[in-house]
C-alpha cells in the first residue's frame, strides 16, 4: 500500500493509471469511470450541494462537482495531490492530513448534503471503517447521503474470486469493502455492484 509519500510521487500519473486499468477491465480500477459517473449524477440532482470529499486525490470527480456549482470541502493525505486539486478548485476548502487519524477541525464544524469517498477508504482497516462511517453520517444534513465508491464486494466469496483472478497484482495491504460484513453494524447501508471489483456503498440520513 502506498503511503502519503508514495501518493505524492504517483500523483501526476494517477488518473492515467486508473483510466488504463478501467479500459482494460482489470483490477483494481475496473468500473472506475462508472463509479465516479454514478456518484456525480446522484449529486447533480441537488443543485448547489455542499460536498465533503474524503481522499479527493487530484480532484478528478470533485473538480467536476465544483464546476457545476457545488461547494466543496475535502481532505487528502498527499500534499502533492492536494496541490493539484487546489489548482482546479481555487475556492474549495481543502486540507492535507491522514483521515485515519481523523478529519481536520474545520471539516467537523460543517454539515454536508453529500459526503463522498472514492478509492480512498480501503486505506482504513476494517475495524476503523465502521466508526469512521458512523461519524461521517453525523456530519450530514437531514436527507443527506454518504457515497463510497471503491474496490468493494457483496460478499467474501466475491473478494476471494477477485483475489485469485488478480494473482500477483493483488494488494494484501489494502482492506476492501465486503458489504454483508458491514450490514450488522450499519444496517441502513446499501450496495450497488458496478464491476467485478467495484461498487458503491450508500448511507442516507
Read off the pLDDT of residues 85-123 as tens digits, 9 standing for 90 and up: 999 999 999 999 999 999 999 999 999 999 999 999 999
- φ, ψ of residue 145 to 5 degrees: the values are -150, 140
38 C-beta neighbours (distance < 10 Å), count: 16
- Section 181-199 average pLDDT: 95
The SS3 call for residue 17 is: helix
Reference 143, options 166, 113, 123, 164; nearest CA is 113
- φ, ψ of residue 67 to 5 degrees: the values are -65, -25
Residue 104, all three cell numbers: 481536520
Q: How much is the pTM?
A: 0.89
* Domains and their CATH numbers in the chain: 4-204 (3.40.50.150)
| Cα angle 21-22-27, degrees, rounded to a multiple of 5 | 55
The span from the CA of 154 to the CA of 157, in Å, is: 9
56 C-beta neighbours (distance < 10 Å), count: 29
- Section 52-64 average pLDDT: 92
Evaluate if residue 12 carries a pLDDT over 50.
Answer: no
Q: pLDDT tier at 32 (50, 70, 90 boundaries)? A: confident
Where is 81: in which H helix or E strand? Answer: helix 79-88
Reference 33, options 23, 43, 45, 44; nearest CA is 23
118-140 in b/e form (b: 16+ CB < 10 A) is bbbbbbbeeeebbebbeebbebb
74 C-beta neighbours (distance < 10 Å), count: 26
The span from the CA of 71 to the CA of 82, in Å, is: 16
- Section 174-201 average pLDDT: 96
Amino acid at each position: 500500500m502506498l503511503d502519503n509519500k508514495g501518493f505524492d510521487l504517483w500523483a501526476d500519473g494517477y488518473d492515467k493509471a486508473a483510466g488504463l486499468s478501467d479500459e482494460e477491465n482489470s483490477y483494481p480500477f475496473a468500473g472506475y469511470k462508472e463509479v465516479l459517473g454514478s456518484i456525480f449524477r446522484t449529486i447533480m440532482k441537488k443543485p448547489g450541494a455542499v460536498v465533503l470529499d474524503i481522499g479527493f486525490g487530484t480532484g478528478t470527480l470533485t473538480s467536476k462537482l465544483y464546476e457545476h456549482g457545488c461547494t466543496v470541502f475535502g481532505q487528502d493525505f498527499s500534499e502533492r495531490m492536494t496541490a493539484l486539486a487546489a489548482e482546479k478548485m481555487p475556492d474549495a476548502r481543502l486540507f492535507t492530513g491522514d483521515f485515519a487519524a481523523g478529519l481536520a477541525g474545520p471539516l467537523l464544524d460543517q454539515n454536508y448534503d453529500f459526503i463522498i469517498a472514492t478509492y480512498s477508504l480501503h486505506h482504513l482497516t476494517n475495524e476503523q471503517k465502521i466508526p469512521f462511517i458512523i461519524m461521517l453520517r453525523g456530519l450530514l444534513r437531514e436527507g443527506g447521503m454518504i457515497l463510497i465508491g471503491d474496490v468493494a464486494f457483496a460478499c467474501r466469496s466475491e473478494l476471494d474470486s477477485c483475489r485469485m483472478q488478480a494473482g500477483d497484482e493483488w494488494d494484501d495491504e489494502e482492506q476492501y469493502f465486503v458489504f454483508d460484513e458491514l450490514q450488522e453494524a450499519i444496517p441502513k447501508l446499501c450496495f450497488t455492484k458496478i464491476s467485478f471489483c467495484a461498487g458503491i456503498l450508500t448511507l442516507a440520513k
